[in-house]
Structure 1
Amino acid sequence: MSTLIFDFDGTIADTLETVFRITNQLAPRYGYRPTTPEQLAVLQDLNMQQILQKVSVAPWQLPFIVRRLSVELNREIGSIDLIPGMLSVLTQLASDHQLGILTSNTAGNVERFLQNHQIDTLFSFVHTGTRLFGKQRALQRIVRQYDLLLSNTLYIGDETRDVEAAHAVGVAAIAVTWGFNSYQALLAKRPDFLIDRPDQLLPIANQLELPAFQP
C-alpha cells in the first residue's frame, strides 16, 4: 500500500481563479501591484521567491497577506469545485492506498471543502497551516508520525516548492500541470512524475517500485 500526500490548493481544489481574484483585491491594502491575466502567465513560470520579488511584496508582509487571503477564501469555499476528474480518482485511490493532505491553507477551509464535496472520509490525515516555505519540515514530521516507508510515499502538488519539499525529504514527487506553476517550471525541478490528468495518478500509485522521472 502506498501513501499519497496531496497539496490542496490547485491540486485537489480548483482555487486558482479565486485566489488570483482575491490577491488582486488585497493589492491596494498591502501595497503590491495587482496582476493582469497576462502577468499571471509569466508568474506561473517562477518560483515563490521570484514571484514575491516580481510583485514587490516584502517578506514581512507575507504572513499578513496569507492570513487575510485565508479569511477571504473561507467566504467563498462553498463555491469552489474539485479539480475535474479528481472525485473519481480519489475514491479509487482511497480503496487501496492511504491518502493525506499537507497544505498551507487553514484547517477550517480544508475541512469545509472536504465536507462540502463529501470526501472527508477518504483522507487518513490532514495537516494544515504549514508556512509557505515550511513544507519540507512538515512533510518530514508526517513521515515520522505515521512511520511511512519513503519508497512507498508520494507527494502530489502543483508548485515547484512541492517538488523541492518532496525531494528534500526523500519521497517521490508527482507534479501536476493543472494548478499554479507551468509545465516548464515544474519540469525544471525534475519531479519523479509529471502528469496532466488526475487519472494518471492511478497507475503510479499502484507501482511498488517508483522509477525516476525521465523528461
Structure 2
Amino acid sequence: MGAHPIPSYDMVIFDFDGTLADSAAWMIRAVNPMARRFGFKTVTDDEIDMLRGRATREVIRYLGISPWKLPMIAAHGKKLMAADSDSIPLFPETEGMLRALHDAGLRLAVVSSNSERTIRAVLGPDLSSLISQFACGASLFGKARKFRKVTAVVSRDRVICIGDETRDIEAARALGLASGAVTWGAAKRSILAEHHPTIVFESPSEIISHLVASRTPVGAD
C-alpha cells in the first residue's frame, strides 16, 4: 500500500507560550511568587519536571488551584508577563518557520491566553505582520471559542492548530480541527501522545516540511 497523503491545510493556528516563545524560564520564576499570592502549592524543580508529564487539568488539581481563582491568576500572570516582555525570547527557529509558512501561502493565526499586546511585543512588528489574525486573552480552557472565531473564513478540514499543551489538543478536537503537538514546550512528548494529536512535531523544521508539503498539489512536479 502507498503512503497516506498529507492533508492539505490553508490555515495554521499557533499557540504562543511554549510554542513560538520560549517563556518557560519566566514561568518557572513566576510560579512560586504567584502561588504564595493566590494560595496554591509552591513547587520544586523536580515537581516542575514531573508536572510536564501530566495533563493541564491534572496540573491544576495537583497545585490545588480553585477553578474560581483561575481568571484572577491568569490576569495577574498576563500583567507580569507584559512588564517583562522584553526578556522573553522566541525559540531560535520561530522566525524562519513563520516566514517559510507565510511564503508558502498559509494563513497564520495566533490563539493564546496571553495578551495580544505582549505577543506583538515579543514577535516584533515584522513577524506580527505575518499573522492574519490574533485571538488572545482566552481563558485557560476557552481556546475552542477562539478557534471558532478565527476559522470562520476557512473550511475547518483545512486548518491545523499547533500547541504545546494537552488543552490545545482538546480544544482543537472539540471543533473537529486537526492538531499538531510540539515537544519543546510545557508538556512532555509522552503525555501529548496519550491525548492523540493529529501529528507530533519534534522541531519547527518538521512543521515547515509537513505543512509546506501540504501545499503542493498532488501530481505536481
Following superposition of structure 1 onto structure 2, how do residues 1-215 of structure 1 map, counting pairs within 5 Å? 2-96=10-104, 97-115=106-124, 118-144=126-152, 147-208=153-214
The answer on whether the counterparts of 1:152 and 1:208 sit within 8 Å (CA) in structure 2 is: no
2:98 counterpart SS class: helix
**Structure 1 unpaired stretches of 5+:** 210-215
Shift of 1:71: 0.9
CA deviations on 1:80-112 (whole Å, 9 max, x unpaired) are: 111121111111111121111000111221121
The answer on whether the counterparts of 1:23 and 1:69 sit within 8 Å (CA) in structure 2 is: no
Counterpart AA for 2:207: L
Shift of 1:65: 0.9
Question: Percent same amino acid at aligned positions?
Answer: 29
Taking the aligned partners of 1:134 and 1:62, their CA distance within structure 2 comes to: 12
The answer on whether the counterparts of 1:2 and 1:205 sit within 8 Å (CA) in structure 2 is: no
Counterpart AA for 2:116: A
Shift of 1:40: 0.8
CA deviations on 1:31-82 (whole Å, 9 max, x unpaired) are: 1121111101111111222111101111111111111111111111101111
Computing the radius of gyration over CA atoms, which structure comes out larger, 1 or 2?
A: 2
Shift of 1:152: 1.7
Taking the aligned partners of 1:48 and 1:89, their CA distance within structure 2 comes to: 26
**Structure 2 unpaired stretches of 5+:** 1-8, 216-221
Taking the aligned partners of 2:145 and 2:77, their CA distance within structure 1 comes to: 23
The answer on whether the counterparts of 1:11 and 1:179 sit within 8 Å (CA) in structure 2 is: yes
Runs (4 or more) in structure 1 with deviation over 6 Å come to none
1:35 counterpart SS class: coil
1:206 counterpart SS class: helix
Taking the aligned partners of 2:56 and 2:189, their CA distance within structure 1 comes to: 15
Taking the aligned partners of 1:115 and 1:207, their CA distance within structure 2 comes to: 28
Taking the aligned partners of 2:97 and 2:134, their CA distance within structure 1 comes to: 18
The answer on whether the counterparts of 2:19 and 2:185 sit within 8 Å (CA) in structure 1 is: yes
The answer on whether the counterparts of 2:70 and 2:140 sit within 8 Å (CA) in structure 1 is: no
Query: Over the residues paired in the alignment, what is the CA RMSD in angstroms?
Result: 1.5
Taking the aligned partners of 1:87 and 1:127, their CA distance within structure 2 comes to: 20
Taking the aligned partners of 1:120 and 1:113, their CA distance within structure 2 comes to: 9
Tell me the TM-score normalised to structure 1 length: 0.91
Taking the aligned partners of 1:137 and 1:75, their CA distance within structure 2 comes to: 27
Tell me the TM-score normalised to structure 2 length: 0.89
Taking the aligned partners of 1:49 and 1:164, their CA distance within structure 2 comes to: 11
Shift of 1:203: 2.2
1:5 counterpart SS class: strand
The more displaced of 152-161 and 31-40 is: 31-40
Matched with 2:5 is none
